[in-house]
Amino acid sequence: MTDQLDKAFAALSDATRRDLIARLAIGDATVGELAAPYDMTVQAISKHLKVLTDAGLVTKRAEAQRRLVHLEADALRALTQWVEHYAQLAERRYSRLERVLAGMTDQLTDQPTDGPASATRKDAP
C-alpha cells in the first residue's frame, strides 16, 4: 500500500516520465513511438516505462512484437486523493484558525479550540 505510493510518486518525480504520462493521456502508444521524440536510447525509455508499470500507472498489452502502452487513470486518481486529503485538512484547519482569530471579538469562550499554532503537540500518535 505505502509501497505503491512510494513507487508512484517516485515515478512522477522524473520529467521524462511525466512527459510520457502526458503523451499517453492523449492515447495509447508503442514503446518505439514513445521513444521517438527523445534524444535518448530506446532502452532508457523502456526502463522509464518499467518504472511506470511497476508503479501501476501504466500497463502494456502485447500487439504482435510491439507493446501497446496504456495509461491507467485510476492509479493517477489514487495519488490526487492522497494529496488532496492532506491539502484539504491543512486548508480547513487554517481557515478554522482564521475564523477563530476573526471571531475573537464576537464570542471568545465557546468551543475548545486545539490551540493556535504552537499548542498542537502530541506525545503518542
Cβ-based neighbours of 79, under 8 Å, separated by 6 or more: 5, 8, 9, 12
Joined grid coordinates for residue 43: 532502452
Residue 98: C-alpha distances to residues 88, 113, 125 (Å): 15, 12, 26
Give the span between the Cα atoms of 46 and 33, in whole angstroms. Answer: 11
Joined grid coordinates for residue 3: 509501497
Q: Which residue number, 30 or 78, has a Cβ lying nearer to DNA?
A: 30
With CB under 8 A as the contact rule, the residue among 42, 44, 89, 101 that binds a second copy is 89
With CB under 7 A as the contact rule, the residue among 1, 2, 3, 64 that binds DNA is 64
Q: Per rule CB under 8 A, is residue 111 in the interface with a second copy?
A: no
| Contact positions vs a second copy (CB under 8 A) | 2, 5-7, 9-10, 12-15, 18, 21-30, 33, 36-37, 63, 68, 71, 73, 76-77, 79-80, 82-84, 86-87, 89-91, 93-94, 114, 117-118, 120-125
